[in-house]
A = this chain, B = another copy of it.
């Protein structure tokens, strides 16, 4: 890795096209299908170019992660005044987006790849994936629940811990199960709404609980 992919994740259009083909190859055939010769054939480029651009196979994979992360952009529109209904709506939207992202083909394939490489020492692939893939969506959720607290709708001491709780309520073990090959079952919308309801029960203020009809029996 000659250039730091954390600060220089930009490639030429031709290279982006190659990375896209590589991702497609990975999604379709799994890790063992991601051979340098296979990528070169699928992208109509030469292996020599691959090594010139990305250094080695690990560099190619790192570039694929950066490329995919650059495609998944999440918009965080805030500044608007939050009330119980809008907070809930935003939380449900976030939950659904999170479930969609995690269950996506490319996300699952890249996560599988990073997991399988993580046993090798010095492989920063997992770190890279967490940093690139999660940072955006994590910041969006953190900003949302912080705004909820500022608006007097949520109560918690540690924002990070509250976010972890929200994440666990939404995802549970679904991500690992999908990584292991299980197909997602159940409706994402329903799952998201239930998770948000539980989260509000745990961290909503009295005002929120009353307005949302979540007062404990």
Chain A residues engaging chain B, CB cutoff 8 angstroms: 29-32, 109, 111-116, 118-120, 123, 125-127, 129-130, 155, 161, 164-165, 167-173, 175-177, 179-182, 194, 198, 201-202, 206, 209, 215-217
Q: Are A180 and B127 in contact (CB under 8 A)?
A: yes
Q: Are A165 and B173 in contact (CB under 8 A)?
A: no
Interface of A is mostly: helix
Q: Are B216 and A209 in contact (CB under 8 A)?
A: yes
CB-contact partner of A115 in B115, B125, B172, under 8 A: B115
For the complex, give the distance between the alpha carbons of A45 and B155 in Å: 61
For the complex, give the distance between the alpha carbons of A167 and B167 in Å: 12
Please give the distance in Å from A72's CB to the nearest CB on chain B.
17
Q: Residue among A114, A123, A125 with the most chain B CB within 10 A?
A: A114
For the complex, give the distance between the alpha carbons of A209 and B155 in Å: 18
Copies in the complex: 2
For the complex, give the distance between the alpha carbons of A127 and B126 in Å: 23
Q: Are B120 and A30 in contact (CB under 8 A)?
A: yes
CB-contact partner of A172 in B129, B167, B180, B202, under 8 A: B167
CB-contact partner of A180 in B115, B155, B209, B216, under 8 A: B115
Chain B residue nearest to A172 (CB atoms) is B168
For the complex, give the distance between the alpha carbons of A34 and B30 in Å: 19
For the complex, give the distance between the alpha carbons of A206 and B216 in Å: 8
CB-contact partner of A123 in B170, B181, B194, B206, under 8 A: B181
